[in-house]
Amino acid sequence: MKHSIHPTQLGLENFQAALSGLKHSEEWKYVDLKRLTDYIPQNFGTLDAQSACPELKNKIWTTENSPQQNSFLALPEAQPSHYQELDLAGKNLGAFLLEYKPEGKHQFLLSHLRLVCPARAKIQLNISVQSAPDAANLLNQSWEIILGEEAEFELNFLDQSSGSNLNFYNFSFACAGSSSLLFNHYTHGSAISKLNCQAALNGEEAKASFNSLALLAKRQAAHSQFLVEHKQPNTYSEEAFRAILRDESIAEFSGKIIVSPHAIGTDAKQLTRHLLLSDLARAHTRPQLEILADDVKCSHGATVGQLDAEQLFYLGARGLSPKEAEESLLKGFISELLDRCTYPDFRQAFTLQP
């Protein structure tokens, strides 16, 4: 009865079958694989970019054919049946909002969008992912983003989906010479969320900045994997990752920077900060630098800690109660990364409490 299976179901089956081989890998060892192997969706679906952004409808093509290269998928082995391509040619300047609002509560949902930001275009794309408040969906969203020469692209990603979701997001960026990429990622967390982000700086003087902010609680787990490859001279990258962890939540950050032999004059920075508000919360952070060129600047820093006692005392000495002082420091902690987003609606929508 193979013909009766929803094509997306095959992706889930392949993925679940592959999980047993992943459990010993460095990338998956902190992921609660049992939650994934046990997941039985009520139905299957796709997240459609056309309905997410009616404004770009005639710019989005849907195909049933998988792209040749699918290694960037968040769930390896999951073969997408639903693949869309968005060409922003002619849209040299503009801001677009993609709003994904799946209605199902226990669905396996796939989307795979390839997006081309043409040379010299200045584009801001704002993506919000929402869900029913009590949903427990399994999401597998993948983006492949190609920046032309001198393109300026700001991608703001706000995850407002249910705290019980299992979310797998994958971003793959290819950046041409003198292009500039700004990627801001904000989430209140889900039962499991995994963010994979790969960027290849393929042209000279390409710049890429990544900011990720996760506010986690209960038994949520967030796993973030960043890979930045400096392939040409005078390229720049910056990764700033912050998480606030309450209750028994877990945050994992793994960031690798590769500077190829040719990429002299590379400037790469990585900074992670985890704020633990509970004795039971845990943070793992793994910076990795692989530098094969001379004359480069690479720096990384990682802190895991609690709220600063001297700052709390200082605010208290100005009359703020312990609760007000804590809230003020937490707002400060998030605002530094939130302010890098130039889309005001997302800055307002992302608050300390979901």
Partner 1 sequence: MTALLKIEDLRVAIDGNEIVKGLSLEIGFGEKHAIMGPNGSGKSTLSKVLAGHPDYEVLDGSVQFAGVNLLELDTADRSLAGLFLGFQYPPEVPGVNNADFLRQALNIRRKAQKLEELDPLDFNDLLEKKLAELDLHNDIYQERSVNDGFSGGEKKRNEILQMAILEPKLVILDEIDSGLDIDALRLVSKGVNAFASNPDRSLLLITHYQRLLEYIIPTHVHVMIEGKIVKSGGKELAEDLEINGYEQFAGVL
Binding residues for partner 1 (CB under 8 A):
308-311, 313-322, 324-325, 328-329, 331-336
The answer for residues whose C-beta is within 8 angstroms of residue 86's C-beta and 6 or more apart is: 49, 56, 59, 60, 113, 114, 115, 116
- What's phi and psi for 331, nearest 5 deg? -60, -40
Rounded least distance, CB 332 to partner 1, Å? 3
Rounded least distance, CB 331 to partner 1, Å? 7
Closer to partner 1 at the Cβ: 221 or 334? 334
Closer to partner 1 at the Cβ: 174 or 240? 240
In angstroms, rounded to a whole number, what is the distance separating the alpha carbons of residues 242 and 185? 10
Rounded least distance, CB 308 to partner 1, Å? 7
In angstroms, rounded to a whole number, what is the distance separating the alpha carbons of residues 67 and 16? 21
Rounded least distance, CB 240 to partner 1, Å? 12
What is the total residue count of the chain?
A: 354
Structure tokens at 339: 């302010």
Closer to partner 1 at the Cβ: 261 or 301? 301
Closer to partner 1 at the Cβ: 269 or 282? 269
Closer to partner 1 at the Cβ: 290 or 324? 324
Rounded least distance, CB 333 to partner 1, Å? 6
- CB of 167 closer than 8 Å to CB of 161: yes
In angstroms, rounded to a whole number, what is the distance separating the alpha carbons of residues 186 and 158? 5
Closer to partner 1 at the Cβ: 181 or 337? 337
Torsion angle in degrees (nearest 10) through CA of 66, 69, 70, 72: -150
Element (H, E) at 10: helix 7-19
In angstroms, the first-to-last Cα distance of the chain is 43
Rounded least distance, CB 244 to partner 1, Å? 12
280: nearest Cα among 325, 217, 334, 323: 217
36 three-state secondary structure: helix
In angstroms, rounded to a whole number, what is the distance separating the alpha carbons of residues 138 and 105? 9
Element (H, E) at 344: helix 344-349
Rounded least distance, CB 271 to partner 1, Å? 12
Q: How far, CA to CA in Å, does 75 sit from each of 18, 48, 100?
A: 9, 18, 19
Closer to partner 1 at the Cβ: 74 or 334? 334
Rounded least distance, CB 316 to partner 1, Å? 4
Closer to partner 1 at the Cβ: 48 or 327? 327
